[in-house]
Amino acid sequence: MPRMVPHPSSSKPKSRVSPRAAGIGVTVKLDPGLLEALDRFISEDQPGASRAEALRLAFRDWAQDKGFLAPETD
C-alpha cells in the first residue's frame, strides 16, 4: 500500500469555513492519482485550502455545473 504524505499545508491554520460548520461528515478514501490531482488543484486554484475545503469547493462547482445544485447568488 502506498504511503500517504500529509498535505504541505495540513499543519497550518487556514480554514475559510469552520470544520464545525453545519453539515454531515463524509469519509472518503482517494486513490493516489485522485489525491495527487486534489493537491494539484489546491496548489494551483485554492492555495492554503485544506483538502476537505478543496473537495467541498470542487464538488459544489461540479454539482452546480451539472444542475444538481442551484447556483449561489451574490
In a domain, 15, yes or no: no
pLDDT at residue 7 is higher than 60: no
Report how far residue 13's alpha carbon sits from residue 10's, in angstroms, rounded to the nearest whole number.
8
Helices (H) and strands (E) in the chain, counts: 2, 0
User: What domain count does the chain have?
Assistant: 1
Which residue range is the domain that position 44 belongs to? 32-66
Report how far residue 71's alpha carbon sits from residue 60's, in angstroms, rounded to the nearest whole number.
9
In a domain, 50, yes or no: yes
In a domain, 3, yes or no: no
Answer yes or no: pTM beyond 0.85: no
- Residue ranges in the chain assigned as alpha helix (H): 32-45, 51-66
In a domain, 27, yes or no: no
In a domain, 22, yes or no: no
Q: Per-residue pLDDT tens for 21-70?
A: 678 999 999 999 999 999 999 999 999 999 999 999 999 999 999 999 99
In a domain, 25, yes or no: no
Give which of 7, 4, 19, 20 is closest to 48, Cα–Cα.
7
